[in-house]
């Protein structure tokens, strides 16, 4: 699950990217990337705070502890693309965060595993629980991202402007 933020239309972006390339990227590109990461830093805690409002009380703390956030920055000729991803690792596999965000929680039915009769050909004594799809409140990632997205984009524009000002100074 990722949020992709494109910073376009900034009057300084093309000039900043050109100068960074010409000067051999003397640390200013790293500063721009760090500024972009700082701009997205508020999204993680906001998503984590939204989990108890959307998930069942038994699952909310488990999901909140497992959530991880990654920010990837890629710069192209006219566009700086910042992708913010949300994922969570379970005990055996990665949690289906996009499905949870759509409002569907799949889980095994509690207390439904039963012992099977022992058979000479089969060694198994129990079977896997049946699974059920439970509806939960949709948008635990979308709501905070929508709420904070404008501020994140504004902060990214400020980062670009600050790097442009450093380049202009010398």
Is the distance from CB of 140 to CB of 51 less than 8 angstroms? yes
Lowest-confidence pick of 22-31, 35-44, 63-72, 88-97: 22-31
What is the per-residue DSSP string for 105-154? EEEEPTT---BPPP-SS----B-PPPEEEEE--S-TTHHHHHHHHHHHHH
Q: Could you tell me the pLDDT band of residue 6, with boundaries at 50, 70 and 90?
A: very low
Neighbouring C-beta atoms of residue 18, cutoff 10 Å = 12
Tell me: pLDDT of 140 over 60. yes
Kindly state the average pLDDT of the residues 52-71: 94
pLDDT value for 110: 78
Tell me: pLDDT of 117 over 60. no
Kindly state the average pLDDT of the residues 53-61: 94
pLDDT value for 4: 43
pLDDT value for 2: 42
Residue 99's Cα: distance from chain center in Å?
14
Domains of the chain, by residue range, sit at 2-94+138-169
How far is 136 from 50, CA to CA, in rounded Å? 13
pLDDT value for 55: 96
Average pLDDT, the chain: 80
Is the distance from CB of 141 to CB of 1 less than 8 angstroms? yes
Q: Is 122 or 66 the better-scoring residue by pLDDT? A: 66
Is the distance from CB of 69 to CB of 100 less than 8 angstroms? no
């Amino acid at each position: 699950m990722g949020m992709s933020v494109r910073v376009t239309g900034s009057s300084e972006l093309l000039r900043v990217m050109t100068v960074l390339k010409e000067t051999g990227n003397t640390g200013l590109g790293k500063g721009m990337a760090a500024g972009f990461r700082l701009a997205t830093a508020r999204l993680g805690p906001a998503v984590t705070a939204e989990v108890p409002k959307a998930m069942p009380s038994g699952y909310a703390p488990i999901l909140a502890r497992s959530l991880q956030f990654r920010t990837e920055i890629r710069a192209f000729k006219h566009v700086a693309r910042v992708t913010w991803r949300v994922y969570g690792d379970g005990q055996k596999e990665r949690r289906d965060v996009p499905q949870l965000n759509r409002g569907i929680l799949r889980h095994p039915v509690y207390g439904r595993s039963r012992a099977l009769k022992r058979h000479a050909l089969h060694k198994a004594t129990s079977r896997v629980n049946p699974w059920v799809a439970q509806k939960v409140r949709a948008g635990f990632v979308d709501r905070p991202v929508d709420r904070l997205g404008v501020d994140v984009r504004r902060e990214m524009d400020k980062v670009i402007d600050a790097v442009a000002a450093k380049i202009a100074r010398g």
